[in-house]
Structure 1
Amino acid sequence: MGKKETIRKKSPPPTNQPVKDVYPTPPPLPVKAPNNGRKNGSTTTGNNCASTTTKDLWDDLFDGGYRADVTIKTDNGDIIYAHANVLGMASPVLRGMLKRAKGCGEKKPISIHGVHQDAVRVFIRFLYSSCYENEEMKEFVVPLLVLSHAYNVPRLKRVVEVELEHGLLNTENVVDIFQLSLLCNAPRLTLISHRMILKNFKAVVATKGWSSMRNSHPGLEKELLESVIEEENNQKEKIRKSKEQKIYLELFEAMEALVHICRDGCRTIGPHDKDFTQNQAPCKYRACKGLELLVRHFAGCKLRVPGGCIHCKRMWRLLELHSRLCADSKVCRVPLCRNFKEKIRKQSKKDEIKWKLLVKKILRTKRIRGSVSFLVSSNSISS
C-alpha cells in the first residue's frame, strides 16, 4: 500500500470576515473594439450584433474578390469584382441587371457609368459592410447620392443625407445638392439646401454651381430668386410686426403706470393725500420714470390745449386711451377719465373705429406676453 496522505480541511472563515475576501475577484468588463477609423452607416440603435470583425470580413471579401462572379465596368475601363448574391440582396436594381446579364464563363458583366471609378468602388464596398471612410464620403458625396437613388439603396441615401446635413453641405456644392435632391426624391435635403441658399444668397450666386444652373435650368433659377424675394418680404413683415407689438406693449405698460401714479403714487408724485418717504421702495413699473416727467409737464404747461404742445398732446392721447381701457370710470382716480367716457359717445364713427382697433391690438399683444391688467373688463370693448 502506498503512503496514505492526510487531507486537512480549511477552517471556515470567521464571522466578521467580509464576503469579498471569500469569493475571487470578477474579471474586468470586455473592452470595446476600435473601428479602425471606419464609420458605420447603419441607422440601427441599441446592441449591434455585427461586430467589427464581421464587418472586416465583408470588407476583405470585397477587397480580395474571393470567388467573385460579377465584373463591374466603369467609365475609364477599370473592372471591379463583386458577388452577385451580395449585390442582388443590397439593390433590387442590380438584381435586375444581373438577371439580364449574359457573359462568358461564370462571371456576369454589368456597367456603372457616369461617375468616377473610385466612387463606384466606395458604393460597392458599402453594399458589403455598410461602412465607408470619412475622406471618401467627403470627396464622393455627390456621386454617392446619385448612385444611392439610381440603384435604390435607401441605407446609403440616409447616410449621405445625414453627412450633408452635419457638415458636408456648403456654399460651393449647395446648388448641385439642391438640384439633385429634387431629382433623387430627398425632401428633407431639399429643404435644408434651400434654406442654406436663402441664408447665404450672395455667396451662392458667385459659385460655379449657380452659373451652371442658370444655363441648364433657368426656370429653377427664377423660382429661387422668387423665394429670396419672398423671404426678404417675410423678414421685413416679421420685423414690422415685432416693432408694432413692442409699441402696443409699451402703451399698455404706460396705462398701468398711469393708474399706479394716480392711485398709489410713485416716488415724489401721486395723489394729494399720499405721504411720500425718502426710503420708499423702488417702483416696479418701467414706464413710471418717463410718465412722471410727462405728468409734471402737463400739470404746469400753459399751452395745455390739444394741439398747442406736442408733449401735452401726447398726454391727452394717453388719458383718452386709458378711458377706453378703464373698466369703471366711477371709481377711477385717473383725471378726466369720466369726461373722456362721455366724449367717446359723441365721436364720429371713423374715429371710433380707429380707437377700437388700437385697443384690440394692445390687448392682443398683452395676452400673448402675459395676463391682462385689471383695468379692462370683458364688456369694455365691443367688437
Structure 2
Amino acid sequence: MLDIKWIRENPEALDRALAKRGMEPLSSGLIALDEKRRQHVGRVQQAQERRNAASKEIGKAMAEKDSATAEKLKAEVAELKTFLQTAEEEERRLDKELADALAVIPNIPLDDVPEGKDEADNVEVRRVGNIRNFAVQPKEHFEIGEAMGYMDFERAAKLSGARFTVLKSQLARLERALGQFMLDLHTTEHGYMEVQPPLLVNDASAFGTGQLPKFTDDLFRTTDGRWLIPTAEVPLTNLVREEILNLKELPIRMTALTPCFRSEAGSAGRDTRGMLRQHQFMKVEMVSITDAESSIAEHERMTACAEEVLKRLGLPFRTVVLCTGDMGFGAQKTYDIEVWLPGQNTYREISSCSVCGDFQARRMNARYRPEGEKATRFVHTLNGSGVAVGRALIAVLENYQEEDGSVTIPEALLPYMGGLTKIEKPE
C-alpha cells in the first residue's frame, strides 16, 4: 500500500508511475478523499477539546452557584456529545473509504524498470546454458509422461475436473526429488531457513501480501472464510505482520515447499494440455525481509539463488526484467526466469523474483527499529520462486528425453532417486 502522505507531497510522481503501468491519474481523487477526511478529523478534535473545556467550566460555574451558566454549558456538552457520536462513525467511514481506495493501487515501479505494455516489451538480461540439438522432433512433457503411463490427466479430471494431474511411480518420485533438491540447496548453501507454514490463511494475511481485495477471483476460499494459499509467499511474509524487528535480525530469509492453489481466473484456453497451468501445483518459495537500504542488493541475490537451481539441473534458461505493463501488483521490480522447453520450442516462466519495497509492509504494519533510534521504519519484502517444482519437472522431461522414450535423470538429482538413473516405460 502506498503512503498517502507521500502521495500528497508527490502527486505528479504518482500519476507518472501509474501512467507507466497503463493507468489513469488518481492523485487528485486520493488527495480530495484525504482532505475531506483530514478536515473532518479536525472538526472532531475541536469538538472534543471544546467538550472537555466546557465540562471543566460546568464545575467552575456550579462552584460559583451560577446555575444558569452551568445549565447552558450542560446543554452545549450534550450537543457536542451527540455530534461526536455521529462524527466518530463518519470518521471511521472516511478512513475506510481512503484505505479502500489505496488498497487497489499498485506499487510504484523503480526507475530502471523498462516501460512497456505487455510481455512483448520485457527486456532480456542474460541467457544461460546451451540448447540441446535433438535428432528428432522433441516431444512435449505430457506426451512423454502419458506414454510412460506415469502422468494421468484423464483420471485426474475424474477426481477433480480440468487442470489437475495424477503423477505416478517414477515421475511422482522425480517431482519429490526436485522439491527436496531445491530445499537442500537453498537451506545449506543459500542461507534460507526452511519453514513449513499453514496452507490456509485468513483475510488479514491475504490482504497483507496484496492478494485481497484486488485478486479475490484468483483464489480458492473455504466455507469457513479462509483462503488456500496461491503461493507460500503469503504465509511466509505474514510471519512478520504487526511486529517490530530489530535491525540486527535482518535480513530474514525463509524458504518453503508447499502445494499452491490458483483458480486461474481469466486463463481459459491457455495451456489447457499438460501441467503448465494447474489449479494445484508444488513450488519452492523464497521470501526475504530486509531493511530499506538492502532490498535492491537482496533482489539480485535472490534471483541468483533461483538461477542456481536451473544451473545445477543443467537446464537452459534466460532471465528477463519485466516491463511496467507486465509487472505484478505489489512489485517495484521483477525478474522472470524462463526455462527452455524444447517440446514447445520456446522459453517459459519457471520463477518470478520481485522486490516490493515497503508496499506489503505498510499493509501488514511490519516494521524494524534501526540501531540507536526510537522511531521505526517499515521493512522491505521480497519474494521469488526457487523454483516452481511442476515446471521444473516439465523442463527435465523435455530437455532430458531420449529417442527411445526414456528420460535421463540430471546428475544433481541422482542422490534423491534411490539409484535410479533413467525413467522408462514399464515393460
Question: Which category of TM-score, normalised to the shorter sequence, fits these structures?
Answer: under 0.3
Q: Which has the higher strand share?
A: 2
TM-score (norm 2): 0.19
Q: Which has the higher helix share?
A: 1
The higher radius of gyration belongs to 1
1 or 2 for the larger relative contact order (CA 8 Å, sep ≥6)? 2
